[in-house]
């Protein structure tokens, strides 16, 4: 499809467009919920013509409404990147990810759309670390990392069909956010907060180079409690907009730093 055929807002999704995207005759689609953050998000209820069976609800990702967010997503290519992940990699990746029914993107980075599995309808749960934190939960996510990282460890495909996976994005917004956090919270946070923030701001390029050292594999890049779900006893991963190729320990360290309690950080060093 061309850029012009990609709806830029959920209200522009028609039954005819959805029929073409899904490859099945849709009788009606209706917007049940919308939200806009880094990307636009919506829930579509779908009814089909007689004799056709398909998902009753779809989770839709498309450009955000806010113009500043639109500029950021376009300049970083995050929306296009995630749409490409869902089309090319989601069917093969050895960890649980939302099923993708359709994805498309334009070369400009401004137009993209993903029609994804509505995970609640599949019985999945969310915010599991917050609701029922345990070391077993942490270990299950680390095991999923191991499976994913091993599958793409120093893969030759990074030179061929996966050459669009680049090292983690170093965007100027990172420095801006750290500087803002330091200005707003530096006086009330522990001294170590100020020291680390100042170290990052003074050595941003060198730190990013250090983070990229080591054998490269597929990394998610943003695994936190908000980007995880659970399907039965199996952890799953959401929001692949910053998926990259890089050292697997980036995923591990990022996840553990944001998930382990203070006590477990000190008493379970085997996880670190």
Domain of residue 244, CATH code: 1.10.510.10
d(CA 110, CA 8): 9
Task: Kindly tell me if the per-residue pLDDT of 1 is higher than 50.
Answer: no
Q: Check if the beta carbon of residue 96 is closer than 8 Å to that of residue 237.
A: yes
**Does residue 99 lie within any of the structural domains?**
yes
Same domain, yes or no: 7 and 65: yes
What percentage of residues in the chain have a pLDDT greater than 70? Answer: 97
Domain boundary among 94, 118, 142: 118
Task: Kindly tell me if the per-residue pLDDT of 52 is higher than 70.
Answer: yes
Burial of 167 (0-12, 13-18, 19+ CB in 10 A): middle
**Does residue 112 lie within any of the structural domains?**
yes
Same domain, yes or no: 219 and 264: yes
**Does residue 174 lie within any of the structural domains?**
no
Q: What is the pLDDT of residue 248?
A: 97
Give the closest residue to 116 by CA, choosing from 133, 92, 98, 132: 98
**Does residue 233 lie within any of the structural domains?**
yes
Same domain, yes or no: 148 and 257: yes
* Averaged confidence pLDDT in the chain: 91
* Integer-rounded Cα radius of gyration of the chain: 20
Domain of residue 75, CATH code: 3.30.200.20
Same domain, yes or no: 229 and 99: no
Same domain, yes or no: 102 and 145: no
pLDDT tens digits along 90-124 = 999 999 999 999 999 998 888 999 999 999 999 99
Same domain, yes or no: 259 and 146: yes
Q: E strands along 9-79, which residues? A: 26-36, 40-48, 57-62
Same domain, yes or no: 266 and 138: yes
Query: Cα separations (Å) of 164 from 2, 46, 149, 161, 219?
Result: 20, 33, 17, 8, 13
Q: What is the pLDDT of residue 2?
A: 43
Same domain, yes or no: 74 and 143: no
**Does residue 137 lie within any of the structural domains?**
yes
Task: Kindly tell me if the per-residue pLDDT of 30 is higher than 90.
Answer: yes
Same domain, yes or no: 217 and 152: yes
Q: What is the pLDDT of residue 272?
A: 58
Give the torsion sign (CA, 237, 106, 218, 166).
negative
Same domain, yes or no: 48 and 78: yes
Domain boundary among 118, 147, 176: 118
**Does residue 107 lie within any of the structural domains?**
yes
Task: Kindly tell me if the per-residue pLDDT of 3 is higher than 70.
Answer: no
Total structural domains within the chain = 2
Same domain, yes or no: 51 and 161: no
What is the domain range of residue 261? 129-168+212-271
Same domain, yes or no: 108 and 241: no
**Does residue 54 lie within any of the structural domains?**
yes
What percentage of residues in the chain have a pLDDT greater than 90? Answer: 73
């Amino acid at each position: 499809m061309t850029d012009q055929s990609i709806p830029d807002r959920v209200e522009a999704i028609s039954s005819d467009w959805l029929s073409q995207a899904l490859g099945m005759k849709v009788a009606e689609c209706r917007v049940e919920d919308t939200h806009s953050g880094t990307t636009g998000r919506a829930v579509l209820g779908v009814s089909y013509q007689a004799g056709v069976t398909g998902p009753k609800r779809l989770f839709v990702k498309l450009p955000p409404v806010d113009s500043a967010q639109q500029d950021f997503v376009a300049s970083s290519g995050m929306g296009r990147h995630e749409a490409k992940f869902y089309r090319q990699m989601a069917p093969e990746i050895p960890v649980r990810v939302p099923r993708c029914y359709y994805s498309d993107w334009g070369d400009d980075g401004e137009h993209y759309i993903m029609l994804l599995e509505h995970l609640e309808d599949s019985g999945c749960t969310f915010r599991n670390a917050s609701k029922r934190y345990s070391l077993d939960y942490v270990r299950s996510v680390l095991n999923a990392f191991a499976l994913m990282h091993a599958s793409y460890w120093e893969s030759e495909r990074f030179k061929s069909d996966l050459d669009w996976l680049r090292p983690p994005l170093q965007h100027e917004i990172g420095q801006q956010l750290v500087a803002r956090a330091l200005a707003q919270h530096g006086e009330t946070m522990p001294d170590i907060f100020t020291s680390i923030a100042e170290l990052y701001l003074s050595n941003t390029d060198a730190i990013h180079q250090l983070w990229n050292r080591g054998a490269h594999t597929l990394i998610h890049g943003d695994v936190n409690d908000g980007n995880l779900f659970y399907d039965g006893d199996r952890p799953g991963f959401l929001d692949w907009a910053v998926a990259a190729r890089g050292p697997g320990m980036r995923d591990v360290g990022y996840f553990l730093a944001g998930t382990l309690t203070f006590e477990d950080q000190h008493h379970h060093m085997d996880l670190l």
